[in-house]
Structure 1
Amino acid sequence: MTDAQRAEQTPHPGSGLSVTTATTDDVRVLTLAGEIDHDTGGTLRQALDLSPTDRPRIVADLRQVTFMDSSGINILLTAHHTATTAGGWLRLAAPTPAVLRTLQIVGIDEIIDCHPTLHDALNG
Structure 2
Amino acid sequence: MRDAILSIRDRLDGFGVFLSGLCAVHCLLGLILVPLIGLGGGVLLSPRIHEAGLALAITVGVVTLGLSALRHGRLQPALIGALGIVLMALALGVGHGTREAVLTIAGVALVATAHLQNLRAAV
- Please give the TM-score of this superposition, normalised by the length of structure 2: 0.31
Name the structure with the higher strand share: 1
- Say which structure, 1 or 2, has more relative contact order (CA 8 Å, 6+ apart): 2
- Please give the TM-score of this superposition, normalised by the length of structure 1: 0.31
Name the structure with the higher helix share: 2
Larger Rg: 2
